[in-house]
Chains A and B, each alone.
Chain A
Amino acid sequence: MRYEAPGTTKEAAALLEKEKGSVHVLAGGTDLIVRMRLGLVEPDLIVDIKHIPTMQAITASASGTRIGAAVCNARLGENKALKKAWPGVVEAANLIGSDQVQSRSTIAGNLCNASPAADSVPALIAAGAKAIVVSKNKRRTVAVEKIVSGPGQTSLARGEVVEAITLPKRPARSGDAYLRLTPRTEMDIAVVGAGVSLTLERGVVKTARVALGAVAPTAILVPAAARAIIGTKLDDAALDKLAAACSAKCDPITDKRGTIEYRTKVAGVLGKRAAKIAFQRAGGVL
């Protein structure tokens, strides 16, 4: 195995393009190095992106916030402006593993690892986040929900690397939230995860996005759940409709953490609770 630590995205893309064998991008390594250790992958080349300054930066501009693909999750929690604008995204990212895992893991890695239960992904989908995907000759911007195509599978082509995740500019009176259910409070895999992001106008939900994790082969956007609360003050009838829409969209599996029936039911409950938190964070009164 060869280890390379390029200093620019361009060099990283060139290395990925040139290698003929098995090649893997290394961000925090909290999935990749585990998989190497378990013998599930045997890379010929590892391209460490942590020495690329644009991938290590969190930058805010008129168009929104850009989080470099190598920024570790602990840094998201330490960034006050980001936490204020996107508390749901940050709480989801900060749920990933222990402090040890937080020091290394990234949201881009969480996304590209493509686990159906990845915690930051529903929050990012709800937030309307996009991935900036770069290869040797091309740069494209893709909605986060288009990146994961199945368990452990992404739509990234060979040679492509995610350079950053972008979050749109936040209008006033907006809020987001992420909740997950796990048997333990820490260090566990989500049975269900729910992310909600919304914006209010005169106390009424004007726009909303609802996303679920761990209840289908990939994290999913649930437009019907958003429609159920748009135009409402999040009254009980709207919340019940949101819950029903969440449960209706579930296509989960039964495993030791939960049955199909349990996951389907909990998806509605968590969707509701996350919507209430997002609503209150946006300044709404329940």
Chain B
Amino acid sequence: MSGVHVSTTINGDPVEFACPQDETLINSLRDRVGLTGVKEGCGTGDCGACSVTLDGRLVCSCLVLSAEVNGKEIATVEGMVEDGKLHPLQQQFIEHAALQCGICTPGILVAAKVLLERNPNPSEEEIRYALAGNLCRCTGYDKIVRAVQAAGKEMRKKSR
């Protein structure tokens, strides 16, 4: 079976690769593009560890075929650092110790970034709903929620 040539933009840079037509985006990102920030927890859409954005919308990269992303824009956790500086969410996750094993963290950071861009001042309930598609087996979520709140605060201050 012949493969597919994919030409896409990842974290602002043009990227091209070839892969089998049934390959999922998570595997292309990790094994062909070298972006190993995306993690596979389940491979079936339940855990969110593989979260990326596709044309600005949050998706599970395990439930996207690479063939589908031709001509589209993808953003991953690797794109969150700007000019060598951690994103406020990344900084606050460190300060709040909002991670233990870290497998869920890249997906949660990407999901939380989408949330804060849409809603700069979310309530705790809104944060918990927005992150319902991201499972964490270590932290118990409280520190994650607090880190997202703190990052939101910091970002609101900056944009003022």
A residues adjacent to B (C-beta < 8 A)? 1-3, 5, 26, 29-30, 33-34, 36-38, 43, 46, 48, 50, 72, 74, 97-101, 103-104, 185-187
Contacts and interface: CB of A to CB of B under 8 A. Distances in A.
Contacts of B68: 3, 5, 26, 29, 48, 50
Interface centre among A26, A33, A34, A72 (most CB of B within 10 A): A33
Contacts of B62: 33, 37
A20 B106 CA distance: 42
A37 B48 contact: no
Contact of B59 (A3, A46, A48, A104): A104
B122 interface: no
Nearest to B134: A98
20 contacts: A3-B65, A5-B67, A5-B68, A26-B68, A29-B63, A33-B24, A33-B65, A38-B44, A46-B22, A72-B57, A74-B57, A98-B134, A99-B114, A99-B130, A100-B60, A100-B111, A104-B63, A185-B132, A186-B129, A187-B132
B46 interface: yes
A29 B1 contact: no
A80 B81 CA distance: 35
Contact of A29 (B20, B64, B130, B132): B64
Main SS at interface, chain B: mixed
B114 A101 contact: no
Interface centre among A3, A38, A74 (most CB of B within 10 A): A3
B1 A2 contact: yes
A56 to B, nearest CB: 12
A184 to B, nearest CB: 9
Contacts of B60: 100-101, 104
B133 A98 contact: yes
B22 A100 contact: no
B65 A29 contact: yes
B4 interface: yes
A186 B126 CA distance: 12
B58 interface: yes
Given A99-B132, A185-B132, A187-B46, 10 more contacts: A3-B65, A3-B67, A26-B65, A46-B21, A48-B67, A98-B132, A99-B130, A100-B59, A100-B133, A101-B45
A2 B65 CA distance: 12
Interface string B122-138: 00000001101110000
B51 interface: yes
B43 A37 contact: yes
A30 to B, nearest CB: 6
Contact of B63 (A33, A72, A99, A185): A33
Contacts of A3: 4, 21-22, 65, 67-68
Contact of B58 (A5, A38, A46, A100): A100
Interface centre among A36, A37, A72 (most CB of B within 10 A): A37
B58 A103 contact: yes
B99 interface: no
Interface centre among A30, A43, A74, A185 (most CB of B within 10 A): A30
Given A2-B21, A29-B63, A101 B133 contact: yes
B54 interface: yes
Contacts of B1: 1-2
Given A1-B22, A3-B65, A104-B63, A34 B44 contact: yes
